[in-house]
Amino acid sequence: MILDHRDILDNLFDGVYFVDQQRRISYWNRAAEQISGYSREEVLNRPCSDHILVHVDQQCDNLCQGGCPLHATLLDGQTRESEAYLHHKLGHRIPILLRVCPLRDPSGAIIGAVEMFSSNSQMVAISQRMKELEELALVDALTHLANRRYLELTLDQRCQEMDRYQWPCGILLLDIDHFKAVNDGYGHLVGDEMLCMVAQTLLANSRSFDLIGRWGGEEFVAIMRNMGGKDLYATAEKFRRLVEKSFISVAGENLKVTLSIGATQLQPGDTAKSALHRTDQLMYASKRAGRNCTTIDFAVR
């Protein structure tokens, strides 16, 4: 029995889609649906640049507005591979590894291209950990991140490790800017959707042994083990830029938010309370500096 190639593609773990010379999507496999959240019906015959995946690169520049590997392959026929962040239908950003190849007719002319993309995150390990925490009532009901209680317990452990072994550990406090305006202008259901979008962006772009949790309201805390000051600042800035480039769609409008972030490292003698107080002060310094920025302890830069 000969299988249709689309039956084969539908059983791959990688997302696969075909475009023509105008970059209109002509095929979208099941894995593409699962990774992106967009169904075939929502994307077929639409240009891939039409607010679907909206890839951004490592600097969070929009690839649809310049530097798109798919577009470049349509022009020169070269195969390409790169890392990027796609826009999930629910709004958050997912790191992916993408590969682009040309499609040619029998004469060798380029008639389109195929992009294959796979999740480049450690979501499987993270999801398993979240499931275990949920059984212990340590997960925030809305965002499914670690809740405040679990963050406090973990931070106490990291403080003890600092005193005993001097193991480096970074702490981030991330606050959504002008979140009250989202609730007041669009309603609490949209506000909840925005909280979940930010939560999933942070979670999808963290390491499996980091802990990302909701501290309360529109505040999130990240506990980053074995991370020095420079890497901590770079990670905070990555989170900030990815959230800034993410959005949810509300009545045809792409709604965005930004983050103000405080960053510090645990010091000998720190308690969970003292570390979080210091990080809170740094976060408010970011607010005073105009928001949408990161403030880190000078001593740990």
The CA distance from 266 to 225, in Å, is 10
pLDDT at 6 over 90: no
Q: For residue 2, what pLDDT is reported? A: 38
Higher pLDDT, 221 or 66: 221
Please state the rounded mean pLDDT for residues 58-80. 90
In terms of Cα–Cα distance, which of 114, 88, 130 is closest to 214? 130
If asked whether residues 194 and 222 sit together in one domain, one would say: yes
Q: Hey, what amino acid is at 57?
A: D
* 240 and 99 belong to one structural domain: no
Are residue 128 and residue 239 in the same domain, yes or no? yes
pLDDT tens-digit readout, 168-209: 999 999 999 999 999 999 999 999 999 999 999 999 999 989
pLDDT of residue 1: 35
- CB contact burial 23-38 (16+ within 10 A = b; e otherwise): bbbebbbbbbbebbbb
- Cα separations in angstroms, 61 against 7, 47, 66, 69: 35, 19, 8, 13
**What is the per-residue pLDDT for 139?**
85
131 with 229, same domain?
yes
Please report the pLDDT score of residue 8 as a whole number: 76
In this structure, the answer to whether residues 65 and 135 fall within a common structural domain is: no
- 130 and 238 assigned to the same domain: yes
Host domain of residue 35? 5-119
Nearest to 233 by CA among 293, 285, 166, 168: 293
Give me the number of domains the chain comprises.
2
Does the pLDDT of residue 3 top 60, yes or no?
no
Mean pLDDT of 100-111: 92
pLDDT of the residue at 85: 92
My answer on whether 34 and 113 are in the same domain is: yes
CATH of the domain at 51: 3.30.450.20
155 and 290 housed in the same domain: yes
pLDDT of residue 228: 86
Backbone angles phi, psi at 39, to 5 degrees: -80, 165
Q: Which of 119, 140, 168 is the last residue of a domain?
A: 119
- Please tell me whether residues 131 and 102 are part of one structural domain: no
Looking at the structure, do residues 205 and 69 belong to the same domain, yes or no?
Answer: no
Q: Does 218 qualify as catalytic in the annotation? A: yes
Identify whether residues 35 and 151 lie together within a single domain.
no
Choosing from 115, 218, 219, 253, which is the catalytic residue?
218
In the listed set 84, 119, 154, which residue is the last one of a domain according to the structure?
119
Q: For a pLDDT cut of 70, what percent of the chain falls above it?
A: 91
For residue 291, the domain's CATH number is: 3.30.70.270
C-alpha 11/C-alpha 115 separation (Å) is: 16
78 and 19 Cβ atoms separated by less than 8 Å: no
Which pLDDT score is estimated for 125?
A: 61
Q: Are strands 259-265 and 294-296 parallel, antiparallel or unpaired?
A: parallel
Among the candidates 87, 119, 151, a domain finishes at: 119
> How confident is the model over 245-266, as pLDDT tens digits?
999 999 989 999 999 999 999 9
Looking at the structure, do residues 115 and 75 belong to the same domain, yes or no?
yes
Which range (87-96, 113-122, 196-205) has the least confidence? 113-122
Asked if the model's pLDDT at residue 301 lies above 60, the reply is: no
Average pLDDT across the chain, whole number = 90
User: For position 189, what pLDDT does the model report?
Assistant: 97
CB 72, CB 80: distance < 8 Å: yes
